Amino acid sequence: MKIVLALGGNALQADPKDKTPGSQLKTCKDTAKSIVDLIEEGHTVSIVHGNGPQVGQILASVEGGYKENNSNVLFPFDVCGSFSQGYIGYHLQNAIEGELKKRKIERPVGTIVTQVLVSKDDKGFQNPTKPIGSFYSEDQAKKLEKEKGYVMKEDAGRGYRRVVASPKPIDVIEKGLIKHLVESENIVISCGGGGIPVVEEDGMVKGVPAVIDKDFAAEKLAEIIDADMLLILTAVDKVAVNFNKPNQKDLDKVNVKELDEYIKEGQFAPGSMLPKVEACKKFVLFDKNKTSIIASLSKAKEAIKGESGTRIVNK
């Protein structure tokens, strides 16, 4: 089976208080065991990961100099996204390669720095809401707006932060290369952090400051490579309604119609479970014979067998 695997933050940083590279590599080695379990079962796995904490750390590093009046250190946000793809991809491929060697499985692993096409007319660009980077004083924020064209918003009395758009992906620039590698049964890590957002301009593509949700990027990749399954791995075993309430109900299987009702009721938190269920819904609407599952990282193998996770269907 051809699977696109979307990894949540817990797959990269198990301890939210320890954001060191050493901690990330250790977590990736644990994550690699679940990934290689699937490969050992005979599946072809393509991996998409988030990058929230990591790109935040990169931004904090480059913005630190700006606060000391050295504005030359402000790398563009799309460049910071590419840094995070290389950083996380290196740790993941290193961990997966190590686990493959332990099990005497020969399979190439590689990371592709991936550009993901978005529309410059996406409504997200009209009202940027995604906060990124450091907190600034009001004077610093005004200076950034004037000198860099940033959109800065006050954040709950803690200072001012830059906000960017969160557009939907419409294509993957490196899709030909990715498809070729996947068809040759390579393990490909791509669209990291949702991909580097780019727009078309005069027949060329250029990076833009934005954040693409990694679950939507994974769904788009699954369409492109004709995957059989979109498997979104997170910190919980199953999707739930009435979450953390006495009447919480875990969902084993849910169809699109039921899912739409739950979405209308506001059952899924924006920025958390909502994009996951919406991405899964989009994939099965693309092809009703496809499968989408949301499950915990530790039970990925069981989820594929129908023994864990929430399965979203269009039937």
Active site residues: 9-10, 130, 214, 276
Distances (CA, A) of 215 to 192, 222, 242, 254: 10, 10, 22, 18
* Residue 182, token pair as written in the block: 């996947």
Distance (Å, rounded) from C-alpha 188 to C-alpha 82? 16
Distance (Å, rounded) from C-alpha 238 to C-alpha 252? 7
Q: What is the number of other CB atoms lying within 10 angstroms of the CB of residue 51?
A: 24
Q: How far is CA 196 from the centre of its chain?
A: 11
> Comparing C-alpha atoms, which of 192, 125, 136, 194 is closest to residue 164?
125
Helix (H) or strand (E) holding 49: strand 44-49
Distance (Å, rounded) from C-alpha 193 to C-alpha 54? 9
The strand pair at 240-241 and 249-250 is best described as antiparallel
Contact (CB, 8 A) for 97 and 107:
no
Distance (Å, rounded) from C-alpha 210 to C-alpha 116? 11
Distances (CA, A) of 32 to 93, 100, 126, 274: 9, 9, 39, 26
